[in-house]
Amino acid sequence: MNAHLLILLPFAGAIAAAVWPGDRTRPWLLPAVGLVHLVLSCWLLVDPPPVEPGAWFAYDDLARAVLPAVSLLFLACATYGISYLRIRAERPNRVFVAALLGVLGLLSAGHQSRHLGVLWITTEGVTLAAVPLLHFNNTPRAFEATWKYLLIGGSGIAFSLLGSFCLGYASIHGGGSGDLTFHALAAQGAGLSRPWVLIAWVLLLVGYGTKMGLAPMHTWKPDAYGEAPGIIGAMLAGGVTTVAFTAVLRVRAVVDAAGAGDVASRTLLGLGLFSMLVAALLLLATRDFKRMLAYSSVEHMGILVIGASFGAAGTGAALFHVWSNSLTKGALFLSAGNIRRAAGARTMDEVRGMTSITPQSAAIFVTGMFAVTACPPFGPFFSELRVLRAGLEAGHGAAVGLLLGGLLLVFFGLTRLVFAIVDGRPRVVSTASVKRYPETASVILPPLVLLALSLWLGLATPPVLQQAWSAAVQSLFPGS
Amino acid sequence: MNSTLNLLIGLAMGLNLLALGSSRLPSVIRAMAVQGVVLGMLPVVITREFHWPVALVALVTMGVKGFGIPALLRRAMRAANIEREIEPFIGFVPSLLLGAIGTIAAVAVAQRLPLLPEHAGTLLVPGALATIFTGFVLLVGRVKAISQVCGYLIMENGIYLFGMLLLHSTPLLVESGILLDLTVGVFVIGIIVDRIQRAFDSLDTRKLTVLRE
Amino acid sequence: MSTLLDILLRLTLWILLAPLLPGIINQVKAWVAGRRGPPVLQLYYDLSRLWRKSVVMSTLASPGFVAGPAVAWVALVGAAILLPIGPFGGGLSFKGDVILLVYLLAVARFCTTWAAMETGSAFEGMGAAREVSYAVLTEAALITAILALSVESGSVALDRMLALSAGTGAVLLAAGLFAVLLAENCRVPFDDPNTHLELTMIHEVMVLDHSGPPLAVILHGAALKLLLFAVLLSEAVLPMGRMSPLAATAALVGAVGAVTIGVGLVESLLARFAFRRVPLLLTIAFLLCLFALLLAWKGGPA
């Protein structure tokens, strides 16, 4: 019941937001729902409910291993959102708040979907619900970004639907009854028609990979992250990509059961390394720090699927990385939002010397940058270390070498851009024309807390999380 | 039953080529709408016997794909005052030839795929593949936002056609969820098209070039 | 001896009946527009009038100016003799005669364009250029259609190819061949046979400088070509071989009449297409024939 509450509560919040009369008080719904959601999901994390195998929605091991991270991220973004929406009081926020809560509800549903069709419906729903959030700024650039997001995201959705049908047909062709829950599909195992499973795998990987933002389907990402408000960027990078990743993991488990696990691993590894490399090269070229975050997200999605390709141990590491990536990326997006608003610009050509304009945000941004490039002792360092170790244990020396090289390039790219922004003397124009942006606690605390959580995750990973991750791996790789 | 089915799907495949070859936006929309109606009839043809839920889904599909969405697009077209002639990014003759090659390839590929005996004699799989391919060509080959939307919808028609393979096993709930998502998607697209029109004073997606590396 | 008589009889039939078709088309157009059109036999009068006139020749023109139309006409008559008439078969029938037919049509086209270029006028040269550039596309469609028939019947002799119907792809083939007919004979929507002023015309511009008997020959050749394609289209679609001779003859006459009226209706109801859209239409015709070929090949949808 509590598991269903996780889905229903945000929807109730969304409806409440849609009818709530006051623009000033409406944003408080965000943290209120976020808090209850977090409490619920943490409660379920500590005390996992029994899961009925044939259920369409359930707080199963995989949802348990990932969803609380989304919850945490949402609460931080929601808290930040109150002051953000106060600053942007000139824009009506009814649709924004309702859609954001809708996204949370659909994300909860997506993480908990155990049925192929339902999973597709929820991920598609997330894509659509995010559209009003993306063009909140109402600028031509925002519409351009939204259009590209819709077109590319829509094609991705179409591919994943086709892939879902193919997987369904694989089951029917193999004599299955047409039960499309992942449990039933995995149980059919080798009975699935192999050619159809392979076609389905490719299509689903392309479809959900588009949603994750894996190269070469990543092109919507920089535009969308660059033009959307910071909290939306954080939710997309930490929440929406995560649900797509769990979708890939669930499908992969079925493909594994059908005896095509090697193919799946190879394609994941190739796609992951390619994403890593593309992101690293683009990071060396970009001059816009919000687009930089998008490419960094592409890179981390690459790391996730590389981890997933390294078998059970790698998948466990990838689940760890989901957490560290979500939290750290959240801190980066929120502090970048502060810097962006204070500077009034987004490229390293226009923005300089942010340490003297917004010292606290700049400090969080730099620290977050070190965290996200896997400097110890933050979460990403440990999770990526685990990925590397899993790779070496699985005998993928060359891939690990490429991964390390990519990480080095990413480090160069990020430091180049970040220090160009925070260092130096503030531009005369920007200090004179832009009024000083007050760094109130409401805009500093959320990213700071996220960063602290990332640090905590690295230094002292709670045993309950370790246990949740290994349980999820156990459910995905029942043989190992 | 198979001959009716094949006739309908063959009609849908012909409409693909029509959509690729027409240079006027209203005729593309019409081709898409007729295709939607034709595909909407399929569930009833496939199940043979009359079931209420199936008939209802068929009716709703026909209504949405054949009338609702096209009406929406026509309204957007009128509101945005778009020139009716489409300027293609891939010319009409090349896109027609591409569509023909795609259709032939779809038939060839479908013959190699392992199919259940009841599907082997039908055009379901080749029709689906050809329609998806057509949609894709329209999606990348046209510059006006509404033509791209048409391409996207034709692609969805193709996927719907593929979904007919699973008609006997997929619960109708899922089908209707998919349909609902589609409808919402098109509404959202329609709104964005409207906004793009207002922001850029045009629906030429070639103007959307500010964001790039 | 009887073969010779047979051929002579066919010749007379083809030559005498051909000018009837444009007359019928004009009558249909007049009927749709609510006018009283020219008499059905108008072309006969025109031809006899032209035949009596003298020839005006450019000083630049070589004898090819007169020889071109003559050769073209002879080629078309030859093609007509090859084409079987319903149950009576072809005047000359041998394996591969269909290829000769295609080549005779090409020779006729070549000669018309050659004669057009003889005047040295840029205007006529332009018409010739358009004629051949469209011909590239129509010939592709025509040859594909012939291939479809050939695959369907398993033969390369015209009388066997045309005896059966085109099978499952008959509708596609009929539509494709009809478009080819319209394009080859410069009818609407590809060209407008009535205009003499537009810069966009094709066939008429080529014969602008011809006069007297050569023009008569050209006009008669054009009518012959129209009849030829109408017969080809009817026989390709109708299952002639399965009917009794009488029924087949009646069906053929009826079908040719239907095609002619169809051309007239198309001409009344459609406007001439913009010049740059013509290739698109021809591509569609080609694709129709191509799909008919594929259907014939795979024996229906697999």
CB-CB: which of A161, A172, A193 is closest to B178?
A161
CA–CA min distance B213, chain A (Å): 6
Q: Please report, for chain B, the start and end positions of each structural domain, with discontinuous segments joined by +.
A: 2-207
B120: closest chain A residue by CA: A173
Does residue B82 carry a pLDDT above 90? no
**Torsion angle of C-alpha atoms A155, A161, A164, A169, degrees rounded to 10:** -110
Give how many domains chain A has, as a whole number.
1
The whole domain housing A140 covers 2-476
Neighbours of A219 (CB within 10 A): 18
* Whether the Cβ atoms of residue C169 and residue C295 lie closer than 8 Å to each other: yes
Collect contacts of A131-135 with beta carbons under 8 A, ≥24 apart: A131/A99, A131/B188, A131/B192, A132/A95, A132/A96, A132/A99, A133/A96, A133/A99, A133/A100, A133/A103, A133/A228, A133/A229, A133/A232, A133/A235, A134/A224, A134/A227, A134/A228, A134/A232, A135/A227, A135/B192, A135/B195
ipTM: 0.89
Do A and C make contact, counting contact as 3+ CB pairs within 8 angstroms?
no
Does residue C96 carry a pLDDT above 60? yes
Coil, strand or helix at A137: coil
* Whether the Cβ atoms of residue A203 and residue A160 lie closer than 8 Å to each other: yes
Q: List helix spans (H) across B65-123.
A: 69-80, 92-112, 117-120
pLDDT in the model for residue C302: 37
| pLDDT tens figures, C162-206 | 887 766 678 889 999 999 999 988 888 888 777 665 566 777 888
Count of alpha carbons within 13 Å of A365, Cβ hemisphere only?
A: 31
Tokens standing for residue C241: 């071989």
Least Cα distance to A410 among A267, A301, A266, A248 occurs for: A301
CB-CB: which of A115, A165, A196 is closest to B163?
A165
Please give the DSSP secondary-structure letter assigned to residue C196: S
Average pLDDT, chain B: 81
Per-residue confidence band for C154, with pLDDT thresholds at 50, 70 and 90: confident
CA–CA min distance B97, chain A (Å): 23
| pLDDT tens figures, B3-19 | 888 888 988 998 999 89
| pLDDT tens figures, A144-170 | 888 888 888 888 888 998 999 899 899
Q: Find chains touching chain C: ≥3 CB pairs under 8 Å.
A: B
Per-residue pLDDT of chain A (480 residues; tens, 9 = 90+): 678 899 999 999 999 999 998 888 999 999 999 999 999 999 999 998 888 888 889 999 999 999 999 999 999 999 999 999 998 888 888 999 999 999 999 999 999 999 988 898 898 889 888 988 988 888 888 888 888 888 888 888 889 989 998 998 998 888 887 788 999 999 988 889 999 999 999 999 999 999 999 989 999 999 999 899 999 999 999 999 999 999 999 999 999 999 898 999 999 999 999 999 999 999 999 999 999 999 999 999 999 999 999 989 999 999 999 999 999 999 999 999 999 888 888 888 888 888 888 889 999 999 999 999 998 889 999 999 999 999 999 999 999 999 999 999 999 999 999 999 988 887 755 555 455 667 888 889 999 999 999 999 999 899 999 999 999 999 999 876
Which residues are registered as beta bridge partners of A113? A57
Neighbours of A175 (CB within 10 A): 11
pLDDT in the model for residue C300: 47
Using a CB-CB cut-off of 8 Å, the residues of chain A touching B151 are: none
pLDDT in the model for residue C297: 80
* Whether the Cβ atoms of residue A106 and residue A70 lie closer than 8 Å to each other: no
* Whether the Cβ atoms of residue C174 and residue C237 lie closer than 8 Å to each other: yes
* Whether the Cβ atoms of residue A85 and residue A14 lie closer than 8 Å to each other: no
Neighbours of A475 (CB within 10 A): 20
pLDDT in the model for residue A99: 94
Tokens standing for residue A249: 């993991």
pTM for this prediction: 0.87
| pLDDT tens figures, C111-152 | 999 998 888 888 888 888 888 988 888 999 999 999 998 888
pLDDT in the model for residue C292: 87
pLDDT in the model for residue C217: 94
Least Cα distance to A322 among A244, A260, A424, A427 occurs for: A244
pLDDT in the model for residue A433: 46
| pLDDT tens figures, A377-421 | 899 999 999 999 999 999 999 999 999 999 999 999 999 999 999
Please give the DSSP secondary-structure letter assigned to residue C167: G
Tokens standing for residue A243: 């649900």
Count of alpha carbons within 13 Å of B122, Cβ hemisphere only?
A: 23
C301: closest chain B residue by CA: B123
* Whether the Cβ atoms of residue B175 and residue A118 lie closer than 8 Å to each other: no
- CA distance linking residue C84 with residue C181, whole number of Å: 18
Contact A165 B156 (CB under 8 A): no
- The number of residues making up chain B comes to 213
Per-residue confidence band for B91, with pLDDT thresholds at 50, 70 and 90: confident
Contact A196 B116 (CB under 8 A): no
| pLDDT tens figures, C30-44 | 999 998 888 999 999
CA–CA min distance B206, chain A (Å): 10
Q: List helix spans (H) across A373-440.
A: 379-393, 397-422, 428-433
- CA distance linking residue C172 with residue C149, whole number of Å: 12
Is C301 part of the contact surface with chain B (CB cutoff 8 Å)? yes
* Whether the Cβ atoms of residue A305 and residue A248 lie closer than 8 Å to each other: yes
| Alpha-carbon radius of gyration of chain C | 19
Contact A128 B188 (CB under 8 A): yes
Using a CB-CB cut-off of 8 Å, the residues of chain A touching B156 are: 158
